[in-house]
Amino acid sequence: MNGAVVIDVQGLSKVFNGNTVVDRLSLQVGSGEIYGFLGPNGSGKTTFLRMLCGLLRPDAGQGSCLGFDVRNESDRIRPLIGYMPQRFSLYEDLSVRENLDFMARIYGVRDRKEVIAATLEKMRLAPFSERLAGALSGGWKQRLALSCALLHQPQLLLLDEPTAGIDPKARRDFWDDLYELSGSGVTTLISTHYMDEAERCHRLAYLAYGELLVTGSPSEIVAGAGLSSWTVSGADLHALALELRQLPGVDQVVPFGVTLRVGGRDPALLEQSVAPFRAGPQRWEPGTTTLEEVFIHLMRDREVH
């Protein structure tokens, strides 16, 4: 982690109706980082983001966000944060410009007309300025939502699955915006289910049922998992997959286009089990472990224990 620490929390917990949704979560995030949160639905990602921005009060733990105490100074943190919820929450019966003007008034933005005009140009929304928000495509709706979150020049962005349901081109454009913001020192916490987006983050945290399972850069997480994998191509892959799934040391057999991905946590045992099949008609090549394989492995380990 480079730069000043923007988020530094220890042991944050939140309980709803006797269920621990976030369980003693501790992490640090540096200035300008794009920090990704991954995990299955219900893993506590949204709850954690809401605790950081003061929408929820932690039941236990302590820490700081932007230099202020997350438990007792949330009113000082909120003005410095831009927050995007999972669902589009702006007014669909207002135009793009009207939504920006409304949010600028909420934030108390000075010289708001000039700021709105600059935002429309910077975020490439000017051609749609008079269009109703409800008539925008999913990608442009998210660009409008991000624009609204940036009007007051926040130091920290909290983005809750912001690219869900939008097309690949719109997702790439959205990430280009995040990298530009990162370069200007804005820190971003983003929850996502997309592995290609996870690989774009500077660092990641993987949560499952409120528990932090692993954190680090994408390459560190892959290397730390210690998994071994093979890529198999050729005929009769479906029948081969059924056989492989029964073998010791074979933890994952995943169809991937016209190939199979075969992986396990014990390289020696995996090699021993697949050795007889490598003499068969299919072609076997050493594979590179992916983030998706690591996270599936982590989830299975978590469910077993």
35 and 114 housed in the same domain: yes
Return d(Cα 286, Cα 56) in angstroms, integer. Answer: 47
The pLDDT value given to residue 1: 59
17 and 48 housed in the same domain: yes
190 and 240 housed in the same domain: no
94 and 174 housed in the same domain: yes
pLDDT of 250 strictly over 90: yes
The pLDDT value given to residue 303: 63
In a domain, 47, yes or no: yes
Residue 49: CB atoms within 10 Å: 22
Domain final residue, candidates 169, 194, 218: 218
In a domain, 294, yes or no: no
In a domain, 156, yes or no: yes
**Mean pLDDT on 267-296:** 92
167 and 244 housed in the same domain: no
**Mean pLDDT on 75-100:** 92
**Mean pLDDT on 104-117:** 94
Please state the domain count of the chain: 2
152 and 189 housed in the same domain: yes
For the chain, give the longest Cα–Cα distance: 72
Question: What are the DSSP calls for 262-297, one per residue?
Answer: EEES-HHHHHHHHHHHHTSSSEEEE-PPPHHHHHHH
The pLDDT value given to residue 298: 85
116 and 163 housed in the same domain: yes
Quick: pLDDT tens for 43-82.
888 899 889 888 899 999 999 999 999 999 999 999 999 9
In a domain, 213, yes or no: yes
14 and 99 housed in the same domain: yes
The pLDDT value given to residue 304: 52
Among 291, 272, 303, which Cα is nearest to 196's? 291
Quick: pLDDT tens for 193-245.
888 899 999 999 999 888 999 999 999 999 999 999 999 999 999 999 999 99
In a domain, 297, yes or no: no
**164: exposed, middle or buried (Cβ count in 10 Å: 0-12, 13-18, 19+):** middle
Question: What are the DSSP calls for 207-245, one per residue?
Answer: EETTEEEEEE-HHHHHHHHT-EEEEEESS-HHHHHHHHT
Residue 229: phi, psi to the nearest 5? Answer: -145, 160
Domain that includes residue 148, residue range: 5-218
In a domain, 302, yes or no: no
Assign residue 120 the CATH number of its domain: 3.40.50.300
pLDDT of 125 strictly over 70: yes
Assign residue 273 the CATH number of its domain: 3.30.70
Whole-prediction pTM: 0.88
210 and 233 housed in the same domain: no
Return d(Cα 232, Cα 22) in angstroms, integer. Answer: 39
133 and 281 housed in the same domain: no
Radius of gyration (Cα) for the chain, nearest Å?
Answer: 22
Q: Are 145 and 162 in contact (CB under 8 A)?
A: yes
233 and 213 housed in the same domain: no
In a domain, 246, yes or no: yes
In a domain, 295, yes or no: no
The pLDDT value given to residue 3: 66
Return d(Cα 139, Cα 88) in angstroms, integer. Answer: 11
pLDDT band at 274 (very low <50, low <70, confident <90, very high): very high
240 and 176 housed in the same domain: no
